[in-house]
């Protein structure tokens, strides 16, 4: 079977930025920024994206693009058939499965909130009812599973149709839709009293609010938000024709992802500050604080619906990219048809997701080291398998493939200073930063 490819470079940018822009940008980035004191955290985060995230992103796209195969074969093709580095492919596969397991549950929450927003339940209910929306949802196994099933079902349907008719097509519709909604929301909050304070909060650094922990959070989030260490960017990169430079494309992806996160931050904090609320509400910032405030806005129902549709679009273009990793693997490694691969991988991940959903209610007592299934899968991927995978990808690219790969990836236009910087960030800076996250995760997590 000939290998699928993106129709154009723009299709790749749409699909890969669709993968990068997700719950990480709109849900997680604002709340971790709020928990870590605002502007200073944003600066550290930007540094992590530039020095750790982008070099590893470039490395992953390069590996997929030159190997022209799924994660199972990348390291064998680029090194040798019995290369021990092939374990990195397995680790990436494992991370993709773990992340999608719990991501699909949160995707389900978003669909539930979208439905509530569209029907007006979110903006007409009593304050008490709205502030308990998330708790109520978490306590109901049935509702959680229905919404998670719908989210996984949509993901499977798109991936089933393949790279061009499924993933690429979905990204062409969902990404422009997402950007449009984000701009509309930005326009809506630009005239609110909290707009300027929100800008100040995100742009004016107060280093006193920063802790050592904030730096680890920033490194971890740079990974998550750029979809690294899950094989996603290798798999998407493998659908690019071999042989073109990818330096500018990588930079563009980083820019889109960062701009969306910052804009989402401005939208969320403008609303929060317009009603004099505290920014450090944690994970409930989007599911509790915001809905309470949407209620008080003019055209609140419309704003709330636009907001949650935006989040749902973002989550979906990310989840399809995660499912594509095991699907590409199964189609190539065990030669399953796309249909069989998608249905089987989807089913396994769905089952894991159901366990995650139930860990908030019926399976609350299933605990390991004090963590329920959801927290275990989240913790295992974000503290262990992803940092380890990212560390190894950086080392493989920097030390095994070395300067020639850097040159190929950046293309002939890149100056020696840029090449040098990239080489040493994959050889040293990124591995050190990620190594510290891994060490801390293993010793304290």
The torsion angles phi and psi of 371, rounded to 5 degrees, stand at -110, 140
Shortest spacing between CB 256 and ligand PHE, in angstroms: 12
> How many CB atoms lie under 10 A from the CB of residue 118?
16
In contact, 209 and 41? CB cutoff 8 Å: yes
Rounded CA-CA distance 67/419 in Å is: 21
**Complex with ligand PHE: residue 273 or 313, whichever CB lies closer:** 313
Rounded to whole angstroms, what are the CA distances from 163 to 4, 10, 160, 253?
Answer: 7, 14, 9, 19
User: Could you tell me the two tokens for 180?
Assistant: 């449009």
**Complex with ligand PHE: residue 123 or 381, whichever CB lies closer:** 381
Binding residues (CB under 6 A) for ligand PHE: these are: 19-20, 22-25, 99, 224-225, 227, 230, 232, 318, 321-322
Shortest spacing between CB 203 and ligand PHE, in angstroms: 22
Shortest spacing between CB 298 and ligand PHE, in angstroms: 30
In contact, 266 and 202? CB cutoff 8 Å: yes
The gap from C-alpha 238 to its chain's centroid, in whole angstroms, comes to 19
Question: CA 429, 35, 194 angle in degrees (round to 5)?
Answer: 115
Cα atoms in the 13 Å half-sphere on the side-chain side of 60: 31
**Complex with ligand PHE: residue 232 or 385, whichever CB lies closer:** 232
Torsion of CA 329, 330, 335, 336, to 10 degrees: -140
Shortest spacing between CB 22 and ligand PHE, in angstroms: 2
Strand ranges, E, within 241-331? none
Rounded CA-CA distance 55/68 in Å is: 20
**Complex with ligand PHE: residue 322 or 410, whichever CB lies closer:** 322
Shortest spacing between CB 23 and ligand PHE, in angstroms: 4
Rounded CA-CA distance 239/228 in Å is: 17
Residue recorded with tokens 């040159």:
407
**Complex with ligand PHE: residue 205 or 379, whichever CB lies closer:** 379
Radius of gyration of the chain (CA): 21
Shortest spacing between CB 327 and ligand PHE, in angstroms: 14
Shortest spacing between CB 285 and ligand PHE, in angstroms: 15
Q: Which SS3 state, helix, strand or coil, does residue 229 take?
A: coil
- Cross-strand partners of 371: 368
**Complex with ligand PHE: residue 19 or 114, whichever CB lies closer:** 19
Shortest spacing between CB 364 and ligand PHE, in angstroms: 26
Shortest spacing between CB 228 and ligand PHE, in angstroms: 7
Rounded CA-CA distance 407/420 in Å is: 10
**Complex with ligand PHE: residue 102 or 195, whichever CB lies closer:** 102
**Complex with ligand PHE: residue 65 or 188, whichever CB lies closer:** 65
**Complex with ligand PHE: residue 38 or 254, whichever CB lies closer:** 254
């Amino acid at each position: 079977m000939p290998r699928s490819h993106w129709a154009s470079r723009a299709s790749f940018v749409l699909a890969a930025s669709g993968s990068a822009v997700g719950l990480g940008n709109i849900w997680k980035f604002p709340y971790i920024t709020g928990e870590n004191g605002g502007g200073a955290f944003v600066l550290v985060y930007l540094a992590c994206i530039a020095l750790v995230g982008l070099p590893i992103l470039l490395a992953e796209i390069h590996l997929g693009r030159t190997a022209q195969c799924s994660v199972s074969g990348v390291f064998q093709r680029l090194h040798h058939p019995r290369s021990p580095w092939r374990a990195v492919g397995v680790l990436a596969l494992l991370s993709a499965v773990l992340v999608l397991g719990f991501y699909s549950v949160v995707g389900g929450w978003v669909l539930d909130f979208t439905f509530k927003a569209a029907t007006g339940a979110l903006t007409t209910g009593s304050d008490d009812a709205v502030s308990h929306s998330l708790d109520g949802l978490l306590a109901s196994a049935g509702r959680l599973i229905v919404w998670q099933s719908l989210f996984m079902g949509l993901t499977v349907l798109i991936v089933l149709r393949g790279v061009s008719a499924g993933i690429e097509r979905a990204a062409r519709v969902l990404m422009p839709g997402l950007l449009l909604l984000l701009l509309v929301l930005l326009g809506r909050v630009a005239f609110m009293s909290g707009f300027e304070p929100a800008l100040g909060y995100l742009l004016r650094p107060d280093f006193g609010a920063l802790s050592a922990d904030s730096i680890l959070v920033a490194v971890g989030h740079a990974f998550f938000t750029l979809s690294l260490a899950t094989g996603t960017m290798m798999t998407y990169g493998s659908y690019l024709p071999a042989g073109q430079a990818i330096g500018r494309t990588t930079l563009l992806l980083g820019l889109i992802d960062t701009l969306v996160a910052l804009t989402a931050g401005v939208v969320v904090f403008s609303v929060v500050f317009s009603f004099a609320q505290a920014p450090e509400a944690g994970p409930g910032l989007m599911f509790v604080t915001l809905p309470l405030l949407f209620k008080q806005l003019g055209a609140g129902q419309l704003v709330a619906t636009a907001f949650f549709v935006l989040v749902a679009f973002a989550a979906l273009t990310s989840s399809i990219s995660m499912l594509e990793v095991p699907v590409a693997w199964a189609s190539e490694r065990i030669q399953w048809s796309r249909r069989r691969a998608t249905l089987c991988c989807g089913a396994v991940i769905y089952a894991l997701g159901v366990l995650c959903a139930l860990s908030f209610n019926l399976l609350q007592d299933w605990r390991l080291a004090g963590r329920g299934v959801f927290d275990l899968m989240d913790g295992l991927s974000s503290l262990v398998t992803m940092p380890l995978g990212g560390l190894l990808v950086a080392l493989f690219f920097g030390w095994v493939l070395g300067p020639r790969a850097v040159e190929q990836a950046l293309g002939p236009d890149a100056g020696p200073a840029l090449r040098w910087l990239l080489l040493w960030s994959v050889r040293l800076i990124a591995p050190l930063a990620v190594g510290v996250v891994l060490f801390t995760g293993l010793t304290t997590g």
